[in-house]
Structure 1
Amino acid sequence: MSDDQNGTRKTGLIVSGLIVVVIIVGLAWWLTSSEPEPVREQVEQPQVESESEPEPAPDPEPELDPMPVEEVEPPTTEPEPEPEPELPPLNQSTDVLLADLKEQEVIVEPVASRSVISDLVVFVDNARNGLMLNDKALVSRPDGRFSVIEMDDKLFIDERSYDRYNAVADWAVSLDVDALLQIYQTYKPLLRDAYGEIGYPDADIDAAFIEAIDVVLATPLVEGMIQVEDDEVMYTYADPSLEALPPIQKQLLRMGYANATQVKEKLRALRTELANQ
């Protein structure tokens, strides 16, 4: 009940009470006066109407939980793929490729080929078959000559001959694998074109690179002095198992144990990234 309603009820009760008191006092005075007793008339006391209790307000209807409003997520817009870089024609790609390599801070000075992509594909195809063509060399030939030393009537590779490969090995080790893979992915269409030109139009170029790397990684590393024989035309390995190796593995042996170990480590890292892409 509100305060106004309580105040109204109290005021009504006070007024009713005063009327009753006045009637009682007047009746008492009339009964005790010396006037002769008049014919008693029955005076009906006015009915004091008690203020009726206000009807209780109806209980408010329970508030209904509003229906949950499903939030509609705005449609996600897929980012547009970056446009494929425009590649030059295969026969004009070397200068552009070398410029991109330089931009990736890859040292390109040792590169001697003027048709890098085509020569690289030929090199890879030969390497995966264990072959090596000197006329398709990608990098400059090392300075100096292969030399041997004689000890106890036997010929051995002069270990100083390995030093001429130090610069090439150091360069190979310095190459950033991530940068190489980025360039590889960019120029893969041209690599496929070049691979198609030598007879493999539908071949998997990634698989070809991995096969070539696997052949080189299978090269046994020999520590210490390596004995050779002079057959008047060229030197051959005295160990039949080494002489039976594919040409590209023999070439790696000529770099010496330390250089060959570094090159294999770099190729192993490159192979892992190629296989996982």
Structure 2
Amino acid sequence: MSDQSTPPDIEKRPPNNNLLFAAVILVIILCAGAFVLLSSDEQPQPIVEVAPTAQPIQEYQTVEEPQPQIEQIEPPAAQPQVERPPTRNVEPAPVVAPLPSLNESDAVVVARIDDYLSDQAMGLLLTDDVIRRAVVFIDNLAKGKVAVKHAPVERPQDGFSVMEGDILTIDPNSYERYTPYVKVFTSMSAAQIVRLYDEYKPLINDAYTEIGYSGDAFNQTLQEAIDLLLDTPEPKGDMPLLRNSVTYQYAYSEWERLPAAQKQLLRMGPENMKKVKAVLRNVQKELDNQ
């Protein structure tokens, strides 16, 4: 059972009759005043909705906008005529004939070398198996050997000679027999030698392959042969000799122990050796620049 709250007693006030009476009197006065103010000729007229007066349409005149003035651009001044040099006729590149086979290359190679050498120099050149001889000879030089049977030139006609005395030495005339060969070698520039080498390199590689090497390895062999010859010591005086039966040998053991290729260069004499080495250095530079 829930408790219901008893509303508190509210004190009831008696109605304010004076206030109610005053309100009634105010309403009556307002109604009377309205009746007096509104006479018969001033009765409110019925409200008539009047359509809004249409405004006259103004006639608009087209106003031409000022056109932008275009700036007159003067044409560029005529450029001075430049005289062009007359067209030169370009010579076509020379037609390079295909290389012959290695077996048929002698005539072509000899004719090409003949363009650089004199008739006297050409007389020292062996004209059979030119490329094969050169390849085998250089391959032996790189190993310090002299392959006499595969020499690309004729052997000297004059023999080796010595000067007898207290000390056995090489006769300077023996150096002269190598002078024509040195002239052949030095008559061509290093650039011409390398150009011939490059021109016939395919045939050179073929010849190198025939003796059991990889064709493109010959360039390294050529470099090794040049290095070995350039390493040949240069004596500053006479070189004493010792007689050994029918042959001679160097009295100094350091000379006698040199590879055969270097001893051959020594036998050419100091002046010839210097000329050969100068060409070899230039050829080496040309090969390095490729």
Shared fold, TM over 0.5? yes
Compute the displacement of 1:113 (Å). 4.4
Compute the displacement of 1:57 (Å). 2.9
Compute the displacement of 1:217 (Å). 0.7
Partner of 2:210: 197
Over the matched positions of the two proteins, sequence identity in percent amounts to 37
Are residues 105 and 243 of structure 1, via their aligned partners in 2, closer, same or farther at CA, if it must alter by over 3 Å? closer
Query: Tell me, what secondary structure is at the counterpart of 2:154?
Result: coil
Partner of 1:122: 136
Distance 1:267 1:96 in 2: 25
Pick from 72, 76, 91: which aligns with 2:103?
Answer: 91
Query: Tell me, what secondary structure is at the counterpart of 2:164?
Result: strand
Distance 1:163 1:244 in 2: 25
Partner of 1:72: none
The worse-fitting range, judged by mean Cα deviation, of 208-217 and 94-103 is: 94-103
Compute the displacement of 1:105 (Å). 5.4
Distance 2:165 2:221 in 1: 43
Partner of 1:258: 271
8 Å CA contact retained: 2:106, 2:129: yes
Partner of 1:68: none
Are residues 105 and 234 of structure 1, via their aligned partners in 2, closer, same or farther at CA, if it must alter by over 3 Å? closer
8 Å CA contact retained: 1:229, 1:235: yes
Compute the displacement of 1:184 (Å). 1.3
The worse-fitting range, judged by mean Cα deviation, of 84-93 and 190-199 is: 84-93
What's the TM-score once normalised by structure 1's chain length? Answer: 0.69
Distance 2:123 2:66 in 1: 97
What's the TM-score once normalised by structure 2's chain length? Answer: 0.66
Residue 139 (structure 1) aligned with residue 153 (structure 2): yes
Pick from 67, 72, 77: which aligns with 1:58?
Answer: 67
Are residues 229 and 105 of structure 1, via their aligned partners in 2, closer, same or farther at CA, if it must alter by over 3 Å? closer
Structure 1: where are the runs of 5+ without partners? 1-53, 64-79
Partner of 1:156: 169
8 Å CA contact retained: 1:113, 1:119: no
* Residues 152-171 of structure 1: CA deviation (Å, up to 9, x unaligned): 2x311111211111111122
Compute the displacement of 1:262 (Å). 0.3
Pick from 194, 199, 217: which aligns with 1:186?
Answer: 199
AA in 2 matched with 1:117 = I
Distance 1:105 1:228 in 2: 36
Distance 1:129 1:249 in 2: 11
Partner of 2:237: 224
Partner of 1:210: 223
The worse-fitting range, judged by mean Cα deviation, of 200-209 and 189-198 is: 200-209
8 Å CA contact retained: 2:117, 2:184: no
Distance 2:142 2:273 in 1: 18
8 Å CA contact retained: 1:252, 1:260: yes
Compute the displacement of 1:140 (Å). 1.5
Compute the displacement of 1:172 (Å). 1.1
Compute the displacement of 1:180 (Å). 2.0
8 Å CA contact retained: 2:110, 2:127: no
Compute the displacement of 1:56 (Å). 6.8
8 Å CA contact retained: 1:159, 1:225: no
8 Å CA contact retained: 2:240, 2:251: yes
Distance 2:160 2:94 in 1: 50
Compute the displacement of 1:143 (Å). 2.3
Q: What value does the CA root-mean-square deviation take over the aligned residues?
A: 2.5
8 Å CA contact retained: 1:229, 1:238: yes
Larger radius of gyration: 2
AA in 2 matched with 1:259 = N
* Residues 253-277 of structure 1: CA deviation (Å, up to 9, x unaligned): 0000001110110111111101211
